[in-house]
Amino acid sequence: MPLVEIVPPAFDLDLDLCYATADNVTGKAIYAADARAYLLPEAAELLDRAVALARPLGYRLKVFDAFRPSEAQWRLWNTYPSDEFVADPRRGSPHSRGAAVDLTLVDMEGRELEMGTGFDSFTPQAHHARTDISLAAQRNRAVLLGIMTAAGWDFFKNEWWHYQLFNARARFPLFSDSALTKTMMAPD
């Protein structure tokens, strides 16, 4: 099954692939500097729907991660081997199926809205429905959750930034395209 590249202007959103930089939970680049975002066609369609729902509210989406090769999942797991935030690569992640996206809301000038924690903040404050974060962050998380669920996405309760297709593990195999994986991964 081919993956769809998530790239402006085809998708009216911002991209900041954090795993292509050292600005992530591992402290080093997992993806190559020129890595790109990909999703299954069904997920790409739902992402486009979410973009359309955000726009009249005065928001845009910023994508941090989408398809994640299994090798990248192993790098995350080796750094943070806890399924509270990182899927065990032996059973696979919805990301490794092209069925998940990590994102946030930005205003029309591209400034990220306050969410209470940053992306990849593997702490209890990253869980949905936290009341020990600012009211603005609670509101912004609720708006993001509303946009994404209205667009047809499921969410992961432990990460305010993570959305996935319903029943992704049961519906989709781990995506394996060695050529794509080789172009995405940063050298060890």
Q: Which two tokens stand for residue 150?
A: 């209205």
> For residue 99, which of 51, 67, 72, 61 has the smallest C-alpha distance?
67
Q: In which region does residue 147 sit, left (phi positive, over 0), alpha (psi from -120 to 50) or beta (all else)? A: alpha
CA-CA distance, 169 to 172, in Å (whole number)? 6
Rounded to whole angstroms, the Cα distance separating 76 from 170 reads 22
DSSP letters of 56-116? GGTEEEEEEE----HHHHHHHHHH---TTTS--TTT--SGGGT-EEEEEEEETTSPBPP-S
Catalytic residue chosen out of the listed positions 42, 84, 114, 159: 159
The yes-or-no answer on residue 159 being catalytic is yes
Distance CA 130, CA 63 (A): 22
Please give the Cα distance from 115 to 132 (Å, whole number): 12
> How far is Cα 118 from Cα 65, in angstroms, rounded to an integer?
14
Q: Which residues are catalytic?
A: 159
